[in-house]
Amino acid sequence: MTGGGGFIGSHLCISLLKKNLEIIVLDSFINSNKKSLKRVYEISIVNNKNALPIKITKGDIRNIEEIDCLFSQSIKEGNPIEAVFHFAGLKSVRESILNPLEYWDVNVNGSINLLKTMDKYHCKTIVFSSSATIYGLSKNCLLHEDSAINPNNPYGKTKLTVENLLYDLHKKNPDKWRIANLRYFNPIGAHPSGLIGEEPKGVPNNIFPYICKVAAGIYKELKIYGDDWQTKDGTGVRDYIHVLDLADGHLAALDYLLKSKPQIINLNLGTGKETSVLELVNTFQKVNNIFIPYKITKKRVGDLPYLVANNSNAIKYLNWCPTRSLNEMCEDGWRWQMLNPNGY
């Protein structure tokens, strides 16, 4: 697993350890903390004494030797890597506009290194972290995997480029590659233990960690980026999904790939439920009984008014369905913030 120390990867590790799967993590920890994986193991061992320790390597996906070393080592040990979850990457839309070279280098060159190495060692099963940001403006209707693709920022373009590259690889070797491009909508929340969660470095760009930090008194107020969008209450509408439901979707995707014939599949991972910024703020306030001061400011450059998934393909192919409510997302995310005011 690349990027396994991060927000989504660490939550997936819990699901994988439950199944007694062996995990090798490659992470530079540029946007995460090794402690997340220590805590994953602590959580896992409580209910499963046989949970295998996670093998952790600190390394950068831009360094192909480091990736090669992991694959060759796994073969030497007689336990070759069977599949890869590829999370490693940079994910801030704003930063990608400011520093496109870095985003293309990590997200695209890093992925090329990984795929070259997978190809070399005949490991041809990959679950790739793509994003709903690759879709264009949607006229307030649910986004289907076949909806228009038109990313409006460098980050989204890097994700689309990797999807296209995976498509080409599959086309060249359709009997070998098993590929799932999972297009995430807006993962929030945390493990209910409060031991692992999202720890953005610096000022959060995303709304949910920002709300948590306003609730904790770290920031004075939330800025709501516009209340005159063509949406139900004028604020931006998104599809928030509990990070544990998202993690379960990955396990289901791996299961599906291993059981089916080689293929490439694009799947939206979202709940299909619309939530406006004001609805999210109100829910957070209600379930946690805490006041979130906010002010309406101008729109954020590059924002879209409406991004909500049609998740029927994921439900159909993966035998998966998100079950956790917005209330649980708000409770679990706030618990993580309260128990870890300074992060890990």
Contacts with ligand UFG by CB under 6 A lie at 91, 93, 131-133, 185-186, 205-207, 210, 222-225, 236, 238, 277, 300, 303, 307
126 vs 241 by CB, closer to ligand UFG = 241
Q: How many residues does the chain have?
A: 344
> Under the criterion CB under 6 A, does residue 131 sit at the interface with ligand NAD?
yes
Task: Single out the segment in contact with ligand NAD by CB under 6 A; choices: 163-171, 181-189, 252-260, 327-335.
Answer: 181-189
Which residue number has the CB closest to ligand NAD? 6
> Under the criterion CB under 6 A, does residue 151 sit at the interface with ligand NAD?
no
Q: Which tokens is 42 given?
A: 């602590």
213 three-state secondary structure: helix
Q: How far is the CB of 195 from ligand UFG (least distance, A)?
A: 23
5 vs 305 by CB, closer to ligand UFG = 305
DSSP class per residue in 173-194: -TTT-EEEEEEE-EEE---TTS
Distance CA 237, CA 199 (A): 23
Distance CA 29, CA 10 (A): 12
From its phi and psi, is residue 143 left (phi > 0), alpha (psi between -120 and 50) or beta?
A: beta
Residue 259's nearest CA partner among 165, 125, 166, 163 is 125
> Under the criterion CB under 6 A, does residue 8 sit at the interface with ligand NAD?
yes
Active site residue 41: no
**Residue 106 interaction partner, one of ligand NAD, ligand UFG, none, beta carbon < 5-8 Å per kind:** ligand NAD
Interacting residue with ligand NAD among 85, 87, 256, 306 (CB under 6 A): 87
**Are residues 309 and 271 in contact, defined by beta-carbon separation less than 8 angstroms?**
yes
Q: What is the phi/psi pair of residue 84, to 5°?
A: -125, 135
Q: 10 to 49, contacts with ligand NAD by CB under 6 A?
A: 27-32
> How many residues at the interface with ligand NAD, by CB under 6 A?
28
57 vs 205 by CB, closer to ligand UFG = 205
Catalytic residue among 103, 135, 155, 306: 155
Distance CA 232, CA 240 (A): 16
User: Could you give the residue numbers annotated as active site?
Assistant: 155
